[in-house]
């Protein structure tokens, strides 16, 4: 550093010195984020000719917001979701704190490098929330705040750590996502607190500049939902200009300036600003403010928005911090691409600086070639002073000696769960689920601890998915105790819905995305709060589709929970229409970090519920999904091998060696399969009957075995291969499920056998089960026809 400048700046009073250092660090963050993307696109060898990509403009837009938050206001216990396209700024910030490596940053968007969008699982413990599918990370903070209250009020987790805020830095276009408003409404119902959303209001999305006056509407929405709303519109330079004579006219001019014109002028620079301003204000007393500035200064003044003025941002955040725990939305006006050559250009979302532009930028930033990654390059402060500053940043202190990712010991799950006595009875899997959970809810003996850690939730289908008996025992969660008026008035109801901080069920409104966001937040409780929560969420099976992106988002973050979707398929017959689900078994197979099952009988269900509660706690486990039904089936007295049920299938009637046919069923169509099987056996005494509990697990096991064999482990064998081994090489398999038939179609590839898979590929008819099973080819006749077809090779 230039010695006289250093001496001069050191003489500044402490507060201005502090601001000076912050501004230097903003430069560093701007440089590193842009360079990281440039390096990935223009410096690293490119093997496939594909554009690597990155979002330099999105990063530039939120530099001051992130610097203010991370370097001044945030505390280690705060949990922060960073808008997806600012991932590089986030990584650069961690680089400042010594929590990110140069190698990783050089590998941005490369295999094994850091992800384009912050990822909990892939980028490591510094990432509190993954982001990428816009809107979800923002809403997630509201649910994680709710969970933080839940775990604290239940005495779960780290009581030694102070409560933090749950903060989202979000793009303005994220507020177009409907899930944001669903979450706002739900948050209001639950009186969430300690949530901050800081909107990077650059008035640009991907394609274009957003309409004017939109924010008046959005601000109103936040206020209506009980949020505090703070607009950070202008920076200090502009405020000072407004305070001068004629300044009011300048303010009115900017306030009235359409977003697209403001963006275009920003891109064009000082001369364009002057022309536009003089044409409107040239004859007014605002002219003096304009005339005394050269073009560069005028451009700087006109783009001095609040979101780029770190002092203004810090002041706004600190004021809200002092105001308490009310949810707060900050609307920070910014310019997309601020400080970069394409600032304000409407097409800049995916724009990358050219090599020439980057060269100029490097020069302007005072970075010598070969020193691009050096932390202290190009700054007018000494390394020692910078290090001393960073050492004092509150967020720079690790949350715990182990870092930000907390953990919680596993809760013991007894070897068997209290499964209802079913001998000689008819029962549905949904009924069995409710009964088992209600028994756990008694909290007797070795179930006490397990019961205390379970948290249930449902989007307004608590009663109709059979969570009622559990809720009656464990109560509804609310930060405030609220009596059940019906109960107090002695009005008859099967539901006892008193609410208290000790309740263990979180009742949600209908929005399914909220269910999955809450399951996601609850499923991350060990890492976030050091609390073991065993979340169980229920939903109607078809409406998994409604929340699907949020479900996949929860799994992508490796959240651990049990999803119970019921009722499902055509089997909920008279409901018809969109209540019938056809595609969900396929989703269960294709979703990563989600093990899905569909038991037919309650003994299988008991095994799978036990497995789920255990598996979701294992380091190499995952979330679990059970697809259930309201159809009551005759239950069997039998001894099951739990390992087979968990691995995905078991022989109800094992085939004879060399058998020419087997019948496989999944879920509530078991009686039709059994009926057809009885007839089939008269012709084919060696035939086998297979109960499939999880095409997902069978398929995953098969893929794994094939991979292992390709890798040299010649003896690797999957469960489906073992199961099908007794059948003749040219045997036929007829399969049936109440869902799209594709999840079974691959059985034929395992050993080259013929499969006739049955299952609806259409939906939408009301009717009773006999009608619908006949119409969609699931009844015993259809199964027998398929057997004949399969045997004949048709």
Q: What is the CA radius of gyration of the chain?
A: 31
Nearest distance, CB of residue 333 and ligand TPP, angstroms: 12
**Interacting residue with Mg ion among 194, 202, 580, 718 (CB under 5 A):** 202
Residue placing its CB nearer to ligand TPP in the complex, 206 or 391: 206
Phi, psi of 265 (to 5 degrees): -65, -35
C-beta of 205: minimal distance to Mg ion in Å?
5
Question: Closest residue to ligand TPP, Cβ-based?
Answer: 171
Q: Least distance to ligand TPP from the beta carbon of 82, Å?
A: 11
Q: Does 58 bind ligand TPP (CB under 6 A)?
A: yes
Q: For residues 513 and 182, is the Cβ–Cβ distance under 8 A?
A: yes
Span of 25-33, 120-128, 139-147, 199-207 interacting with ligand TPP by CB under 6 A: 199-207
Assess 606 for contact with Mg ion (CB under 5 A).
no
Residues 711, 703: Cα–Cα separation, whole Å: 12
Of 56 and 151, nearer to ligand TPP (C-beta) is: 56
List the single partner that 230 binds among Mg ion, ligand TPP, none, CB under 5 to 8 Å by kind.
Answer: none
The interface region with ligand TPP, picked from 55-63, 91-99, 460-468, 614-622 by CB under 6 A, is: 55-63
* Cα angle for residues 481, 482, 485 (degrees, 5° grid): 155
From 106, 126, 149, 200, residue interacting with ligand TPP (rule: CB under 6 A)? 200
Q: How far is the CB of 120 from ligand TPP (least distance, A)?
A: 17
| Number of Cβ atoms within 10 Å of the Cβ of 724 | 22
Binding test (CB under 5 A) with Mg ion, winner from 171, 327, 599, 741: 171
> Given strand 623-627, what is the order of strands in its sheet?
499-500, 476-477, 505-508, 454-459, 534-539, 562-565, 623-627, 594-597
CB 329 → ligand TPP: shortest distance, Å?
15
Which span (197-205, 259-267, 676-684, 694-702) binds ligand TPP, by CB under 6 A? 197-205
Contact 367, 378 (CB under 8 A): yes
Are 58 and 30 contacting, i.e. CB atoms less than 8 angstroms apart? no
Q: Between vectors from CA 153 to CA 148 and to CA 155, what angle results, nearest 5°?
A: 100
The footprint of Mg ion on this chain (CB under 5 A) covers a number of residues equal to 5
Question: Which residues have a Cβ under 8 Å from the Cβ of 37 and sit 6 or more positions away?
Answer: 53, 54, 55, 56, 59, 88, 108, 352
Query: Counting every residue, how long is the chain?
Result: 794
- x/- mask, ligand TPP, residues 298-337, rule CB under 6 A, reads --------------------------------------x-
Q: Does 85 bind ligand TPP (CB under 6 A)?
A: yes
Cα–Cα dist 507/538, whole Å: 11
Buried b / exposed e across 644-669, counting CB within 10 Å, b at 16+? Answer: bbbbbbbbbbebeeebbbbbbbbbbb
- Should residue 263 be labelled a site residue for Mg ion when binding is judged by CB under 5 A? no
Q: Sort strands 505-508 and 454-459 into parallel, antiparallel or unpaired.
A: parallel
Part in contact with ligand TPP (CB under 6 A); list of ranges 189-197, 204-212, 320-328, 574-582: 204-212
| Residue 115 binding target from Mg ion, ligand TPP, none, CB below 5 to 8 Å by type | none
Q: Which of residues 109-128 bind ligand TPP (CB under 6 A)?
A: none
Sign of CA dihedral 540, 543, 548, 554: negative
Which among Mg ion, ligand TPP, none contacts residue 133 (Cβ within 5 to 8 A by kind)? ligand TPP
Could you give the CA distance from residue 700 to residue 630 in angstroms, rounded to a whole number? 28
Is residue 134 a contact residue for ligand TPP (CB under 6 A)?
yes
**Choices 202-210, 262-270, 313-321, 504-512; region in contact with ligand TPP by CB under 6 A:** 202-210
171 binds ligand TPP (CB under 6 A): yes
* Minimum CB–partner distance for residue 350 and ligand TPP (Å): 9
Q: Which does 85 bind (CB under 5 to 8 A by kind): Mg ion, ligand TPP, none?
A: ligand TPP
Least distance in angstroms from the C-beta of 269 to Mg ion: 21
CB 438 within 8 A of CB 402: no
Measured torsion, CA atoms of residues 427, 429, 433, 434, in degrees rounded to the nearest 10? -50
Q: Is 205 in the site for ligand TPP (CB under 6 A)?
A: yes
174 interface partner picked from Mg ion, ligand TPP, none, CB below 5 to 8 A per type: ligand TPP
- The DSSP letter of residue 570 is G
- Size of residue set near ligand TPP by CB under 6 A: 18
How many angstroms from the chain centroid is the CA of residue 140? 7
According to CB under 6 A, which one of 43, 206, 275, 485 is a site residue for ligand TPP? 206
Residue 174 or residue 385: which is nearer to ligand TPP going by CB?
174
Stretch that binds ligand TPP, among 21-29, 89-97, 201-209, 278-286 (CB under 6 A): 201-209
CB neighbourhood size of 424 (10 A):
8
Q: Give the nearer residue to ligand TPP in terms of CB position, either 297 or 347.
A: 347
Contact pattern for ligand TPP over residues 331 through 370, marking x by CB under 6 A:
-----x------------x---------------------
Is residue 133 a contact point for ligand TPP (CB under 6 A)?
yes
Does residue 202 interact with ligand TPP by CB under 6 A?
yes
CA angle 472, 458, 505 (to 5 degrees): 40
What is the layout of strands, in order, in the sheet containing 754-758?
649-653, 688-692, 661-666, 732-737, 754-758
Distance CA 235, CA 118 (A): 29
Using the rule CB under 5 A, give the single segment among 168-176, 215-223, 494-502, 544-552 that binds Mg ion.
168-176
Residue 58 CB, nearest distance to Mg ion (Å)?
7
The beta strands (E) that lie in 18-142 are given as 79-82
> What is the Cα–Cα distance from 39 to 353, expressed in whole angstroms?
11
Nearer to ligand TPP, 258 or 398 (CB): 258
Could you give the angle at the alpha carbon of 775 between the alpha carbons of 770 and 778, nearest 5°?
65
The residues binding ligand TPP (CB under 6 A) are 55, 58, 61, 83, 85, 133-134, 171-174, 200, 202, 204-206, 336, 349
Q: Which residues bind Mg ion (CB under 5 A)?
A: 171-173, 202, 204
């Amino acid at each position: 550093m230039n010695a006289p400048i250093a001496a001069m700046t050191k003489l500044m009073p402490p507060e201005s010195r502090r601001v000076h250092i912050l501004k230097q660090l903003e430069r560093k963050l701007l440089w590193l984020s842009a360079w990281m993307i440039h390096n990935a696109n223009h410096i690293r060898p490119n093997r496939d000719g594909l554009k690597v990509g990155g979002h330099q403009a999105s990063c530039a837009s939120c530099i001051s917001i992130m610097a203010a938050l991370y370097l001044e206001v945030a505390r280690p216990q705060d949990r922060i979701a960073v808008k997806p396209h600012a991932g590089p700024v986030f990584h650069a910030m961690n680089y400042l704190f010594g929590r990110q490596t140069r190698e990783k940053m050089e590998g941005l968007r490369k295999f094994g490098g850091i992800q384009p969008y912050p990822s909990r699982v892939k980028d490591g413990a510094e990432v509190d929330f993954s982001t990428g599918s816009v809107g979800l990370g923002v809403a997630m903070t509201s649910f994680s705040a709710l969970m933080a209250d839940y775990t604290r009020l239940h005495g779960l987790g780290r009581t030694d750590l102070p409560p933090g805020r749950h903060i989202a830095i979000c793009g303005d276009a994220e507020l177009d996502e409907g899930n944001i408003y669903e979450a706002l409404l739900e948050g209001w119902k639950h009186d969430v607190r300690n949530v901050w959303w800081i909107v990077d209001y650059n008035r640009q999305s991907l394609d274009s500049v957003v309409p004017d006056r939109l924010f008046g509407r959005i601000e109103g929405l936040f206020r209506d939902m009980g949020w505090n709303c703070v607009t950070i519109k202008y920076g200090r330079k502009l405020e000072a200009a407004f305070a001068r004579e004629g300044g009011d006219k300048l303010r009115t001019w900017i306030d009235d300036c359409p977003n697209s014109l403001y963006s275009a002028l920003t891109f064009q620079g000082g001369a364009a600003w002057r022309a536009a301003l003089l044409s409107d204000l040239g004859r007014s007393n605002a002219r003096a403010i304009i005339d005394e500035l050269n073009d560069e200064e005028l451009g700087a003044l006109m783009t001095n928005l609040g979101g780029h003025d770190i002092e203004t941002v810090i002041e706004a955040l600190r004021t809200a911090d002092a105001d308490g725990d009310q949810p707060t939305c900050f609307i920070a006006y910014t310019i997309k691409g601020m400080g970069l050559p394409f600032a304000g250009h409407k097409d800049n979302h995916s724009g990358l600086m050219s090599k020439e532009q980057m060269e100029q930028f490097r020069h302007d930033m005072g970075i010598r070639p070969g020193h691009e990654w050096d932390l202290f390059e190009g700054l007018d402060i000494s390394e020692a002073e910078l290090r001393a500053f960073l050492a004092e940043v509150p967020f720079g202190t690790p949350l715990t000696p182990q870092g930000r990712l907390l953990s919680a010991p596993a809760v013991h799950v007894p070897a068997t769960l209290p499964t209802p006595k079913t001998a000689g009875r008819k029962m549905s899997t949904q009924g069995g689920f409710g009964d088992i959970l209600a028994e756990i809810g008694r909290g007797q003996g070795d179930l006490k601890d397990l019961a205390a850690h379970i948290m249930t939730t449902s989007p307004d289908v608590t009663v109709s998915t059979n969570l009622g008996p559990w809720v009656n025992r464990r109560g509804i969660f609310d930060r405030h105790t609220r009596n059940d008026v019906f109960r107090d008035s002695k009005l008859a109801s099967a539901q006892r819905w008193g609410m208290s901080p000790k309740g263990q069920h979180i009742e949600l409104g209908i929005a399914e995305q909220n269910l999955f966001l809450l399951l996601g937040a609850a499923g991350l409780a060990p890492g976030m709060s050091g609390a073991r929560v065993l979340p169980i969420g229920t939903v109607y099976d078809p409406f998994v589709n409604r929340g699907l992106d949020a479900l996949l988002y929860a799994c992508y973050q490796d959240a651990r929970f049990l999803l119970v979707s019921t009722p499902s398929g055509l089997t909920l017959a008279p409901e018809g229409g969109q209540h019938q689900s056809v595609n969900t078994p396929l989703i269960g197979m294709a979703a990563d970090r989600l093990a899905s099952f569909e038991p037919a009988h309650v003994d299988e269900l008991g095994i799978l519920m036990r497995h789920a509660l255990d598996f979701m706690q294992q380091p190499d486990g995952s979330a679990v999904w059970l697809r259930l039904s309201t159809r009551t089936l005759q239950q069997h007295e039998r001894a099951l091998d739990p390992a087979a049920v968990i691995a995905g299938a078991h022989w109800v009637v094992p085939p004879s060696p060399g058998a020419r046919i087997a019948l496989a069923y999944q879920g509530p169509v078991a009686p039709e399969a059994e009926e057809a099987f009885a007839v089939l056996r008269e012709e084919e005494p060696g035939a086998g009957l297979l109960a499939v509990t999880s095409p997902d697990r069978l398929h995953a096991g098969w893929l794994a075995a094939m991979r292992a064999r390709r890798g040299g482990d010649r003896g690797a064998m999957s469960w489906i291969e073992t199961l099908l081994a007794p059948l003749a090489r040219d045997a036929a398999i007829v399969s049936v499920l109440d869902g799209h038939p594709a999840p079974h179609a691959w059985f034929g590839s395992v050993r080259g056998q013929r499969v006739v898979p049955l299952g609806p590929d259409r939906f939408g008819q009301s009717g009773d089960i006999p009608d619908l099973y006949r119409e969609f080819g699931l009844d015993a006749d259809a199964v027998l026809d398929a057997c004949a077809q399969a045997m004949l090779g048709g």
